């Protein structure tokens, strides 16, 4: 891929590995896989993990609606208060948890996040779900799987497997939050202590 990292800035010399159309195609493919595997996706609830997982969940829900003709409940699940690294930094700002009116009891909950890395976010999300209800099954969809798992967790639907080194940082940009769709790969910034 050509290196047009100039607009990203000198601080994070990141190059885009995926662009807007790639992301759109991957989401379409994931939506079809969901319908196929969940046999019509009629009891699926999408829960995005803030911040960018929520936008991805909404986009997936729209695509599922196009395919099945039914509205798919979509919400968000904030995992901040379930994190295992809360004590390692200052108290973090909370994000919104919005469980759809249909609830999650007895349904298939599909967690949606942008990047799957250590797996600790998903561990926290599973704990958070347990306090809200008892889904029939929980599945995971991610845009990018960058490897380096620290827990026995895997994704059911993956946009792209992106082999990385631990010194690299993967950044997903979405129009809703960042003004454009892209997945950037760069070197990890070592200076700030509060890296995520």
**Residues found near other proteins in the complex (CB under 8 A):** 78, 81-82, 86-97, 127, 131-133
Name the minimum Å distance from CB 92 to other proteins.
7
- The end-to-end CA distance of the chain, in Å, is 26
Name the minimum Å distance from CB 57 to other proteins.
18
Region label for 179, one of left (φ > 0), alpha (ψ between -120 and 50) or beta (otherwise)? left
List the Cα angle 134/137/138 in 5-degree steps.
Answer: 95
Which of 127, 156 has the CB closer to other proteins? 127
Query: What residues contact 185, with CB distance under 8 A and at least 6 apart?
Result: 14, 15, 16, 17, 162, 164, 168, 169, 170, 171
Which of 17, 132 has the CB closer to other proteins? 132
Name the minimum Å distance from CB 146 to other proteins.
26
Which of 73, 186 has the CB closer to other proteins? 73
Which of 86, 187 has the CB closer to other proteins? 86
Name the minimum Å distance from CB 86 to other proteins.
6
């Amino acid at each position: 891929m050509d290196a047009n990292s100039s607009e990203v800035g000198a601080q994070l010399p990141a190059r885009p590995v995926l662009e807007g159309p790639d992301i759109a195609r991957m989401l379409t493919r994931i939506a079809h896989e969901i319908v196929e595997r969940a046999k019509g996706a009629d009891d699926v609830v999408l829960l995005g993990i803030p911040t960018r997982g929520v936008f991805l969940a909404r986009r997936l829900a729209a695509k599922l609606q196009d395919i099945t003709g039914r509205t798919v409940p979509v919400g968000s699940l904030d995992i901040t208060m379930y994190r295992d690294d809360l004590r390692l930094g200052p108290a973090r700002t909370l994000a919104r948890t919005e469980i759809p009116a249909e609830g999650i009891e007895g349904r298939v909950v599909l967690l949606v996040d942008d990047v799957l890395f250590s797996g600790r976010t998903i561990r926290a999300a599973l704990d958070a779900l347990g306090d809200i209800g008892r889904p029939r099954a929980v599945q995971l969809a991610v845009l990018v799987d960058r490897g380096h798992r620290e827990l026995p967790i895997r994704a059911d639907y993956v946009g792209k497997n992106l082999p990385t080194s631990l010194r690299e940082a993967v950044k997903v940009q979405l129009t809703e939050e960042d003004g454009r769709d892209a997945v950037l790969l760069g070197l990890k910034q070592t200076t700030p202590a509060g890296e995520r």
